[in-house]
Amino acid sequence: MAGFDDLSSHPDVAAEFTPGAQVPISGSGGQTAATQALASAAYRDDEVEKLIAANPEASFKKPRLSLFEPNLGEAFSRAVQTRLLGGARKPLIQSFGIEPQTVVEHCLAATRVRKQRDARLTLVMTLFGLLFLPGVLLWLLAFQLRRMIAGSKDKRAGAIGMVVLVAVGALVVLFAIKLPVSGFWGMYLRAMLVAPIIGGVWAKQICERYAKDLRGRWESLLGGAGVGAKIPEAVPQDPGDAGAERIRLGLAKVAAEQASNLIYYAGPKGILGMGTRWGSWQLAEELSPAREGEDIHPFRSWDVIRAIHDQLRMLERGPLHTGGFPTPSIRHWIVSPIAEGAKEVKRPDGQEVEGYRIKDFEIQRICNEQQFGAGNRHYLGVQFVLWDGQLVISLLISVTVLHHTLRIEVTGHALGPVDGLFTSGPKAKTKEVAKSVKFWETRTVKLPLVETKEVVRLAARAPLTWFPPVLDFLGGKLSLPEPFGLRHAWAKKPWRHRFMADDAMRAATPVLRVVHAAAIKVLEENGCNVEKFGSRSLNLSAAVQDAKPFKADVYDA
């Protein structure tokens, strides 16, 4: 894609993602609602300001000429492609509950559809723009002045803006009736002012056809049809197809970062990608031998974690056939601390890292040794992706041993549904008008999908589509919030949705009990006195039944 750096020139990419099957990876089934909601943004024709309102940390650089300003779908597709597939891209935060690769593929597909449209509009602009350039420039100037005066986002043009268009229209009529010159130049002057109108009619037909296509994809995604993203440009046609190889490497890198086991804790923002802590339960008691005169059998934190891991795999099983838990994702995570206002995260390197994953031996070392002071920390995570991807519940378990004290901590994190902007479907453009006879009654009139001012905007942008940096300079550019992850950037809190809130809080009790039971069993097997641990566990088991969400990452001290 134009505007991307060559990914193959980066050693980390070239070494880790060697050429394999030259076919773009498509999204799999499963949790698709959140994925398709985010992917639908690539096809939307709303204003960019709606995207900024969904997350004020995103920003849009104001256009130098509002006539070249992108809409939401154009800005979103361009920003996501540059951010996730660009060669100079920053590390990406995991997007739990969605398939980020599918969203990127839809952005590529939307860009492809728009390029097909823009190729036809460029032909129109070439035929009518080059031959009748003065007239086209005059009309473009009129529309630009109208947008500047009336406001590019106003649905009704201001009085002065309308005067500008009326003045140009009157000039066209005046020149058509009586011209200051005659002969060839008189005919050319007439054609110069009239030809852009003919070209505009043709351009409007093109824009209408592609608007229906884009809106159809938008509606299909939200309707659950799961329309596939067609991106033939991502399939290399020959060994020297650098563009397709660049896209393939970029998609492979997105998939690899999504599979990383390194996550980042950003203070009050919580764990990026998982959300803030809403609850924390700690069991901390003294390690003492079960019998006087005997010693505790040596064990390490990893032994306790491994036993907890084995028991958590049985969460989906129960004594009664009541549905219960779906199969959870149980993974070992390494949590790295970053500053609250950090705009970038850093990926580790060295022999402890393979691709974007921390190796198993390093995970065990961190679990056993890095429990106090600087450095990364180990957590065992239980994650439930519910509500078709709209709710992500994460419960993280850590085990630490300091002096004679064993501490087992369970923290709850919840990531809610994506912003309602992404779940809203396309609305037909209509207006209410009075009936001609029964003027006291109204009727609904269906309007064209593309208004005249939108046709002019698309036609003006079309020739510059093949020069994205120039288009960014003139029309403005969307900047995504950093550190960026497709899911958490647009996620809302689940507490306003009663059932989602209930699911998040209900998951804590059984997980906490399984964790405590597994840990106490390991202590018993190693000759520890578990009486205090058992009593404390019962107290926590009673307290967690009255779970209430609170800001556990905000310390009011």
List phi, psi (to 5°) of 246: -65, -45
At 220-264, the pLDDT tens digits run: 888 876 667 777 776 766 666 677 788 888 888 999 999 999 999
Q: Rounded to whole angstroms, how far apart are CA atoms 157 and 448?
A: 17
Tokens of 412: 């709850």
Ranking 103-117, 171-185, 266-280, 344-358 by mean pLDDT, the lowest is 171-185
Within 10 angstroms of residue 345's Cβ, the number of other Cβ atoms is 19
Mapped onto helix, strand or coil, the DSSP state of residue 407 is strand
pLDDT of residue 478: 93
pLDDT over 90 (residue 166): no
pLDDT, average across residues 270-285: 90
More confident residue, 244 or 494: 494
pLDDT of amino acid 25: 38
What pLDDT score does 2 carry?
Answer: 42
Give the pLDDT confidence of 441-467 residue by residue, as tens digits: 777 777 778 887 888 889 889 888 889
Q: Is it the case that residue 155 has pLDDT exceeding 60? A: no
Give the model's pLDDT for residue 183: 55
Tokens of 404: 């004679």
**pLDDT confidence bin for 185, thresholds 50/70/90:** low
Strand partners, 394: 383, 413
Q: What is the pLDDT of residues 188-229, one digit of tens each?
A: 666 666 667 777 788 889 999 999 999 989 988 888 766 677
Instruction: Supply the pLDDT for residue 263.
Output: 94
User: Cβ atoms within 10 A of the Cβ of 252, count?
Assistant: 20
Rounded CA-CA distance 472/70 in Å is 9
Q: Can you tell me the mean pLDDT for 350-356?
A: 86
pLDDT at position 366 is 93
CA 319 to chain centre: 40
Distances 255 to 24, 272, 350 between C-alpha atoms, Å: 11, 17, 21
Local confidence band at 79 (pLDDT 50, 70, 90 cut-offs): very high
What angle separates helix 452-461 from helix 133-150, to the nearest 10 degrees? 120
Q: Average per-residue pLDDT in the chain?
A: 81
Quick check: 153 pLDDT over 80?
no
DSSP assigned state of 329: E
What does the domain layout of the chain look like in residue ranges? 7-256+451-490, 261-420+492-546
Give the pLDDT confidence of 393-403 residue by residue, as tens digits: 999 999 999 88
Is residue 527 exposed (0-12), middle (13-18) or buried (19+ Cβ within 10 Å)? middle
Q: Which of 105-109, 182-186, 201-205, 250-254 has the lowest mean pLDDT?
A: 182-186
- 2-11 pLDDT, tens per residue? 444 444 444 4
* Percentage above 70 pLDDT, the chain: 79
Quick one: pLDDT band at residue 159, thresholds 50, 70, 90? low
Give the pLDDT mean for 64-68: 83
Mean pLDDT for 273-278 is 90
Taking the C-alpha atoms of residue 41 and residue 32, their distance in angstroms, rounded to an integer, is: 15
Three-state SS string over 435-452 comes to: CCCCCCCEEEEECCCCCH
Question: Rounded mean pLDDT of 88-103?
Answer: 90
| Mean pLDDT across 462-483 | 90
Strands 329-337 and 262-265, sheet pairing? parallel
**Distance (Å, whole) CA 290 – CA 426:** 67
Q: Tell me which of 28 and 80 has the higher pLDDT.
A: 80
Percent of the chain past pLDDT 90, that is, above it, reads 34
Which of residues 31 and 372 earns the better pLDDT score?
Answer: 372
Position 20 confidence tier, pLDDT thresholds 50, 70, 90:
very low
pLDDT, mean of residues 317-331: 82
Does residue 309 have a pLDDT over 80?
yes
Return d(Cα 253, Cα 448) in angstroms, integer: 41
Task: Quote the DSSP letter at residue 129.
Answer: I
pLDDT per position as a tens digit, 294-307: 888 888 999 999 99
What letter represents residue 549's amino acid?
P
Query: What gap in Å lies between CA 515 and CA 521, rounded to an integer?
Result: 10
Task: Supply the pLDDT for residue 165.
Answer: 56
User: How far is the C-alpha of 497 from the C-alpha of 134, rounded, in Å?
Assistant: 58
pLDDT of residue 307: 94
Structure pTM? 0.82
Instruction: Report how far residue 435's alpha carbon sits from residue 262's, in angstroms, rounded to the nearest whole number.
Output: 64
